Structure 1
Amino acid sequence: MRPRTRAELAKALAKRGISDETSAQVLDRYDEVGMIDDAAFARAWVSSRHHGRGLARRALANELRQRGVAGDTVSEALDNLDDDTEAATARALVDRKLRVTRGSPESVYRRLVGMLARKGYPAGLAYRVVKDAMAAQSAEAAEFADGVDPDALADQET
């Protein structure tokens, strides 16, 4: 069982028919003794999901908000994840996936950019990382990658 946020616990108590007043008292007490700590939950969630699944800040923020973590707490937890770390994780994901992905360079490019987009990476970063990885892979992929302008593609996305 994983740790839960205050909002998740409140929802679970409400589902069991516990009154809002009683639920608030119990959750306040849990908060006092340190059994509920949304900030610690958010930091652990960001670390775990970024390193384990390779999720970017945008996806992580969305997941935390869905679990009822406050916006400022989400921002604080994501502050530990800088641009360089996010780019390095994107590169590692693409390198790992590129080894086993087959097809024309166009379809491989599209699949890899799509994979990064689903994990919450910004379009510009996704295009650039995939282009660089494909250029380093093979002559055919490098030739295709040379014809790709990641900045122009990212501008089209916005």
Structure 2
Amino acid sequence: MEQAKEACLRLLAVRARSRAELAQRLSAKGFAAEVIERSLDRLAEVGLVDDAEFARQWVRQRHSFSGKGRQALAQELRRKGVAPEEATAALDDITVDDEHERATELVRRKLRTLPADLDREKAIRRLVGMLARRGYGHSVAYTVVKAEWEASRGDTDLGEPDAPLG
């Protein structure tokens, strides 16, 4: 059991991890399921393994630094084995305004790198697609792109959100 705890501590020294991630890594190293459970229970007792805190940290960092939206973050937390109720609580820390603000920053940054002569519809598709790949919903993506396109290019004829862009 001591070796399993040491292995966990080495993994946690690199970055925070979910209980499921640690269990998977220990299992891959050949530790028995009973030893893994006891080790993780002990680390949880002393506060070193806490999926709720892990989820909050993960969401905060990935939203702030990687620009991920709620949908992408929810998927990442599922892959990391975080329980749905803990993931939901962590995702609730990101407000609609936070998501809108971060999407706006991403679009502004991308707009600076788009060629000035790029076709409007192609640019809009690229920008909405970029936000979609980062986990932002269509309505947030389109609203932000429309507002930022108008502000930067002075073009107000973008059509309806559900209108085909191609």
The aligned residue for residue 158 of structure 2 is 147
Structure 1 residue runs of 4 or more that deviate by more than 4 Å after TM superposition: none
Match in the other structure for 1:16:
29
Of 28, 49, 56, which aligns to 1:36? 49
CA distance in 1, matches of 2:139, 2:17: 34
Task: Give percent identity, aligned residues only.
Answer: 46
Following TM superposition, by how much is the alpha carbon of 1:105 offset from its aligned partner in structure 2, in angstroms?
1.2
* Structure 2 residues not aligned, in runs of 5+: 1-13
How far residue 124 of structure 1 moved from its aligned partner, in angstroms, is 1.2
1:3-82 superposed matches below 5 A? 3-82=16-95
- AA aligned to 2:26 is L
Structure 1 contact 57–120 (Cα < 8 Å) conserved:
yes
Residue in structure 1 matching 2:153, options 138, 150, 153: 138
**How far apart are 1:125 and its partner, in Å?**
1.3
1: CA distance between counterparts of 2:158 and 2:76?
36
Separation in 2 of the partners of 1:137 and 1:12?
Answer: 48
TM-score scaled to structure 1, two decimals?
0.90
Pairing partner for 2:129 from 107, 114, 125: 114
Contact 1:131 1:148 (8 Å CA) reproduced: no
SS in 1 for 2:81: coil
How far has the Cα of 1:147 moved from its partner?
Answer: 3.5
Task: Answer yes or no: is the 8 Å Cα contact 2:124–2:145 preserved in 1.
Answer: yes
Q: Give the match for residue 105 of structure 1.
A: 120
